[in-house]
Amino acid sequence: MSDNKLTESEEKGMPLLGDDFPEMKVVTTRGALELPKHFTGKWFVLFSHPGDFTPVCTTEFVAFQNAQKEFKKLNCELIGLSVDQVYAHLKWEEWIKENLKVEIKFPIIADTGTVAEKLGLIHPGKGTNTVRAVFVVDDKAKIRIILYYPQELGRNISEIVRVVKAMQIADKNKVAMPANWPENEIVKDHVIVPPANSVSAVKDRQIRSKKGEIECFDWWLCHKKLSK
């Protein structure tokens, strides 16, 4: 085989950060949808779970639903996915509402395996179950964040809210976000000013620092408080 020739799996691959979210038609608990077209002009979080009527997944879906208002404030929608049929999703939603008093209001994709394969959600060592994956997609349908969790570990939904908010702030202000933002151990709730990449940029940092516009530990580590 030629070095330039890719295998079928390599050609398919899984989407990478910065890629366009692949166009697809999906069947969901809220009817047939076209992705990413359905969320035009909005951010969305697509998250997969191993299966309906499983304990960890149930706790996650309740947590996602409880956080839906926070996502909506960020112009961000939710959509779940697993390789289960629609009727299983619907019965599971019904069970959650009756027993846990939480109504699931976001769509859940009933996948035949096509979507999971396209997004790289099937782990070869875990049968046909989808892994716990999270795709954060921006309002231009670009994949901005991909997170993978093992079946044994439930996701921290507050962290997913945080990363959506942080990415939106980073985009709007052309800055970077420190670890544990907005409670970083070094710069508190400040954001990171992108590192200088030229002599003139270094001088600019020094001038801005003297004016109090930014604070610097050194020319390559500057931060500032976002203006409200």
How would you classify the pairing of strands 108-110 and 76-82? parallel
Q: What is the pLDDT of residue 134?
A: 96
Minimal CA–CA distance to 76: which of 174, 181, 148, 160?
A: 160
Domains detected in the chain: 8-155 (3.40.30.10), 174-228 (3.30.1020.10)
What is the mean predicted confidence (pLDDT) over 37-47? 97
Task: Tell me the residue ranges of DSSP E strands in 49-142.
Answer: 76-82, 108-110, 132-137
Q: What is the pLDDT of residue 5?
A: 45
Active site residue 57: yes
pLDDT single digits (tens) 137-196 = 999 999 999 999 988 899 999 999 999 999 999 999 999 999 999 999 999 999 999 888
What is the mean predicted confidence (pLDDT) over 119-148? 84
What is the mean predicted confidence (pLDDT) over 81-91? 92
User: Rg of the chain over CA atoms, in angstroms?
Assistant: 21
Q: Can you spell out the DSSP letters for 105-120? A: -S-EEE--SHHHHHHT
Q: What is the pLDDT of residue 228?
A: 67
Confidence band for 8, pLDDT divided at 50, 70 and 90 = very low
Residues 6+ away with beta carbon under 8 Å from 83: 51, 111, 112, 113, 116, 128, 129, 130
Q: What is the pLDDT of residue 125?
A: 60
pTM, two decimal places: 0.88
Among all chains, which residue has been given the structure tokens 């926070």? 70
Candidate list 57, 76, 216, 222, residue with the active-site label: 57
